[in-house]
């Protein structure tokens, strides 16, 4: 069970800020593929991975990173703070 | 080191008047304040962030600045929620022995906060709402550090 | 543009809270504050200046910064007279649309004030009094502008 | 008649902050030579011109600049503001 979070327009496309996902996905990309297979709104949100960033347990990471032991995955567009 | 993520406004004055007090080896204090501009008829801006990761990311950036420039002190305040033109979005302040370190550390903090702290801005104007896109130049700015 | 040459202390807070107010196209405010450090047992410092030329020189430097970086506003306060460690010596503030201009203009102002505004510092410590010598690196700093 | 001003250690060596000088000197260097011929304290102050700066009517200038029309000359060490 992984906590999956969405921010900014990713959140808007998915339609919710977070959800608990039952998954055996080995990597972030595997998780993305599982989600995209579910419903069109996931396909819309994950259409272009180069426009997205991912954080694992609140640390910026990569889409090919393993999910082993990870409790929280967050997807969002490039940050615009400051 | 003082890091605040908040919805409330802040007074640069009150913050700076207390900043670095108590340390005896400060010769230079630099502050930066970011303000919402009313470009293109902007009526308001909503800043979303990632509670938990935000504090963690800013802490990491500020700790790196403290060490790299041997700062005497360092402060970051970043607001989230709804802001209107003229509102202060955020500020950083650095205190060090010499001016070059204080300036460089403040610019470093700003460059990293721009693209490495999990904030996202949505602008509301006459043509509707739009998420602010990250700029290539902001990402490029990191390469100088 | 606001230029003040004075013996009286100033509050960075009060100054900054009023700075740039009224302008609608300010996205970035940078401030620098210089403070007397108590290096080598310094007990006090006396800053001498050249009344008339001081205001003229600072005005020229600030006007150049305003034009070169299209600043919305610019402020310089420089004290003279007797100061002790911990006292604020001077401050500059710049306001512009974007952060790079505000940072650059503030550094430019500092570099020029260091070697082109007619102030001289005399330090008093355990070994007597000594006029602060100009540093080659301060003169060199001007070459980047 | 020119108003001559001294600052910092130049003022201390000369012993006064300003004086009115009756001179026909054509350039700053000529004025310096006239002053040095007067008394040892001027020689002490002007021993090394490379350690000095000069301002004519409150504008930084050079030692070989003409004094034509100048009302105020100031001598001082390199500035240490900021």
Give the mean pLDDT of chain B.
94
Question: D5, C139: Cβ pair inside 8 Å?
Answer: no
Chain B nearest-CA distance from A45, in A, is 14
ipTM over 0.85: yes
Which of C145, C10, C30, C43 is CA-nearest to residue C97? Answer: C30
Q: Which domain holds residue A7?
A: 2-76
Of A81 and C17, the structure prediction assigns the larger pLDDT to A81
For residue D81, is it within any domain? no
pLDDT at B48 over 90: yes
For residue D64, is it within any domain? yes
Question: A81, B56: Cβ pair inside 8 Å?
Answer: no
Residue A35, pLDDT score? 97
Residue D64, pLDDT score? 97
Residue C124 is encoded by which pair of tokens? 């008093």
- A touches D, CB cut-off 8 Å, minimum 3 pairs: no
DSSP-derived secondary structure letter, D27: B
Beta bridge partners of C120: C48
Q: Work out whether strand A2-6 and strand A18-21 pair parallel, antiparallel, or are unpaired.
A: antiparallel
Contact between B35 and C27 (Cβ < 8 Å): yes
For residue A37, is it within any domain? yes
Which region among A73-77, B86-90, B139-143, D30-34 has the lowest average model confidence (pLDDT)?
B139-143
Residue C35 is encoded by which pair of tokens? 């403070």
CA distance linking residue B90 with residue A51, whole number of Å: 26
Residue C20, pLDDT score? 82
Residue B27, pLDDT score? 95
User: Of C17, C30, C36, which has the smallest distance from its Cβ to B11's Cβ?
Assistant: C17
Residue C88, pLDDT score? 95
- CA angle C12–C18–C20, rounded 5-degree value: 110
Buried b vs exposed e over B46-77: b needs ≥16 C-beta within 10 Å?
Answer: ebbbbeebbbbbbeebbeebbeebebbbbbbb
For residue D82, is it within any domain? no
**Residue ranges of domains in chain C, CATH in brackets:** 2-126 (3.90.1170.40)
Q: Work out whether strand D2-6 and strand D72-76 pair parallel, antiparallel, or are unpaired.
A: parallel
pLDDT in tens, A20-59: 999 999 999 999 999 999 999 999 999 999 999 999 999 9
pLDDT at B136 over 90: no
- Give the residue carrying structure tokens 């802001």: B83
With beta carbons under 8 A apart, name residues in chain C contacting B16.
12-13, 16, 31, 33
pLDDT in tens, D24-56: 999 999 999 999 999 999 999 999 999 999 999
Could you write out the DSSP letters of every residue in C83-98? E-TT-EEEEEEEEESS
For residue D37, is it within any domain? yes
The total number of structural domains in chain D stands at 1
Question: B118, A76: Cβ pair inside 8 Å?
Answer: yes
If you average pLDDT over residues B115-143, what whole number do you get? 93
- Give the residue carrying structure tokens 């960033």: A53
**D contact test, residue of C134, C137, C141, C142 with most D CBs within 10 A:** C134
Which of B72, B34, B81 is CA-nearest to residue B54? Answer: B81
Residue B139, pLDDT score? 87
Of B17 and D66, the structure prediction assigns the larger pLDDT to D66
**Residues across chain B:** 145
pLDDT in tens, C98-120: 999 999 999 999 999 999 999 99
pLDDT at B22 over 80: no
Residue B44, pLDDT score? 96
- Output the CA–CA distances (angstroms, integers) from residue B16 to B55, C1, C118, in the order listed: 21, 22, 28
- Give the residue carrying structure tokens 């940072």: C103
Query: Quick count: other Cβ atoms within 10 Å of Cβ C125?
Result: 15
CA distance linking residue C102 with residue C105, whole number of Å: 5
Give the mean pLDDT of chain C.
94
Contact between B73 and B20 (Cβ < 8 Å): yes
pLDDT at C2 over 80: yes
B134 in A contact zone (CB under 8 Å) = yes
If you average pLDDT over residues B66-94, what whole number do you get? 97
CATH of the domain at A61: 3.10.20.30
Q: How many helices (H) and strands (E) does chain A have?
A: 3, 5
For residue D9, is it within any domain? yes
If you average pLDDT over residues B20-34, what whole number do you get? 90
Residue A72, pLDDT score? 98
pLDDT at C83 over 90: yes
For residue A81, is it within any domain? no
- Output the CA–CA distances (angstroms, integers) from residue A53 to A6, A20, A57, A60, in the order listed: 10, 19, 13, 8
SS (H, E, C) C38-54: CHHHCCEEEEEECCCHH
Which of B80, B1, C104 is CA-nearest to residue A81? Answer: B80
Residue B10, pLDDT score? 96
Phi then psi dihedrals of residue C113, to 5 deg:
-60, -35
Chain B nearest-CA distance from C50, in A, is 24
Phi then psi dihedrals of residue B118, to 5 deg:
-75, 75
User: Of D11, D59, D79, which has the smallest distance from its Cβ to C119's Cβ?
Assistant: D79
Residue A79, pLDDT score? 97
Could you write out the DSSP letters of every residue in C17-79? HHTTTT-S---EEEEEEEE---GGG--EEEEEE-TTHHHHHHHHHHHHHHHHTT-SEEEEEEE
Cβ neighbours for B128, distance < 8 A, ≥ 6 positions apart: none
Residue B28, pLDDT score? 97
For residue A51, is it within any domain? yes
> Which residues of D sit within 8 Å Cβ distance of C?
5, 7-9, 11, 55, 58-60, 74, 76-82
Residue C139, pLDDT score? 87
């Amino acid at each position: 069970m992984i906590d999956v979070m969405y921010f900014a327009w990713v959140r808007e496309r998915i339609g919710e800020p977070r959800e608990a996902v039952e998954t055996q996905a080995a990597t972030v990309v595997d998780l993305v593929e599982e989600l995209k297979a579910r419903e069109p709104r996931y396909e819309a949100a994950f259409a272009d991975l180069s426009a997205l960033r991912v954080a694992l347990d609140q640390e910026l990471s990569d889409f090919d990173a393993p999910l082993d032991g990870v409790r929280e995955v967050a997807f969002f567009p490039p940050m615009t703070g400051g | 080191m003082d890091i605040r993520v908040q919805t409330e406004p802040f007074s640069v004055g009150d913050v700076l008047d207390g900043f670095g007090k108590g340390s005896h080896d400060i010769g230079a204090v630099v502050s930066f304040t970011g303000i919402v501009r009313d470009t293109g008829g902007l009526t308001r801006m909503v800043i979303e962030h990632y509670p938990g990761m935000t504090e963690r990311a800013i802490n990491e950036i500020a700790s790196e600045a403290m060490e790299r420039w041997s700062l005497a002190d360092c402060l970051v305040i970043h607001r989230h929620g709804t802001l209107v033109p003229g509102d202060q979005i955020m500020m950083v302040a650095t205190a060090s022995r010499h001016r070059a370190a204080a300036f460089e550390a403040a610019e470093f903090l700003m460059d990293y906060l721009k693209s490495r702290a999990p904030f996202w801005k949505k602008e509301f104007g006459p043509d509707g709402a739009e998420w602010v896109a990250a700029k290539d130049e902001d990402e490029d700015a990191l390469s100088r550090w």
